[in-house]
Amino acid sequence: MVLRRDEGTPHIMEWPQLLTCLPVTGLPVDFEVLSNFCFKCKAPAERPDDPSWQERHLSKCLKNYDGSAKSMEVECALRMWRRSIEINKLRYTTMLCDGDSKSFDAVIHEKP
């Protein structure tokens, strides 16, 4: 298995994180997308003070993470590792990441 990180285009220092698990075949087995930014929530013209708009928007909101951009990669890896056996019936044994990745340390420390 290979855990691969694809960083999105930066927008005002916000980086969506997409992590995918790829077996030897190169086909994705699992993925996780986290974002700490939503364009509609931040744009004053798009965000009326109407509570009914806010309720409708909540299910479509792109922001699904409140932590820092640096912690998103770690959270993505942990979520995927935790559900690997339950959902995919696979035990991930290898993690390929860059040298400054804290994801590996987090996965090893938690031992999901």
59 part of a folded domain: no
9 part of a folded domain: yes
27 part of a folded domain: yes
- Structure tokens belonging to residue 104: 């590996």
58 part of a folded domain: no
In terms of pLDDT, which residue wins out, 29 or 2? 29
In terms of pLDDT, which residue wins out, 20 or 8? 20
pLDDT tens digits, one per residue of 34-87: 888 888 887 666 666 777 878 888 888 888 899 887 788 889 889 988 888 888
Look up the pTM and report it: 0.69
How many structural domains are present in the chain? 1
90 part of a folded domain: yes
Where do the DSSP E strands lie in 12-93? 17-22, 30-34
70 part of a folded domain: yes
How many angstroms separate the CA atoms of 74 and 11, rounded? 20
18 part of a folded domain: yes
- Could you list the residue range(s) of the whole structural domain that residue 91 is in? 2-37+66-110
Q: Which residues pair with 7 in a beta bridge?
A: 17
